[in-house]
Amino acid sequence: MLEWITNKLAGRKVLTRPEQLVPYLIEHFSEATEEQISAVEHEVFRGCPRHPEKALLYAFRVSKCVPRVKTFKTLGARWRTACSGPRGAVGLLAGRHSANYRRAYEFLSCLYLKRFWELAKAVADKADDSAAKRKSASAKRNVYNAAIRKIEDGGRELDHYTILSADAALWRGEAQRWIDYLRQKATAISGEPR
């Protein structure tokens, strides 16, 4: 059954061991659907519910929506679910004894960091557009300050659920870059008439 279901997911390549699933999924994440990952997760590990590879597959499955996430809050909730799943039985933490754990964690944290960057950029772009439409310097600064708070809150959402302190530094660093950018914009308009 493992050979059949992985052949269906892989198209042409037949995977014969559960340890091959995560590396293959990392390389073909954009091609796999949530349903295919779920089918592999349930079929392959039917008799082995606590297998670390199953826990990692769960993290990949719940992360398929990340490119479409529209808010920092949803991104943080997805990250929390990918890390610890329901009751900690699945997810990255439950799969930490897998030989593929580090690769899975690095891939998924990069996926979430990229989406964080995209969301922060959208907030900054919207602030630039809104500030350009304001007449007074104080109104422009208020727009930038609201954007700063939004990005700070978004960074805290992800930081709160981050497993490794090095990755928490990534979230904070990315958030800080956008915050610094917005503060520079706000400072640049401070000399304008009120």
Predicted structure pTM score: 0.85
Residue 34 lies in a domain: yes
Residue 194 lies in a domain: no
Reported as a single tens digit per residue, the pLDDT across 97-147 is 999 999 999 999 899 999 999 999 999 999 999 999 999 999 999 999 999
- Rounded to an integer, the average pLDDT of 33-43 is 86
Residue 49 lies in a domain: yes
Instruction: Name the residue range of residue 56's domain.
Output: 2-188
27: number of CA atoms within 13 Å, CB side? 7
Residue 137 lies in a domain: yes
Contacts 24+ apart (CB under 8 A), 164-170: 164/105, 167/109, 170/109, 170/113
Residue 173 lies in a domain: yes
Residue 149 lies in a domain: yes
Residue 193 lies in a domain: no
Residue 79 lies in a domain: yes
Reported as a single tens digit per residue, the pLDDT across 46-73 is 777 778 999 999 999 999 999 999 999 9
Q: Are 119 and 75 in contact (CB under 8 A)?
A: yes
| Total of domains in the chain | 1
Q: What is the mean pLDDT of the chain?
A: 85
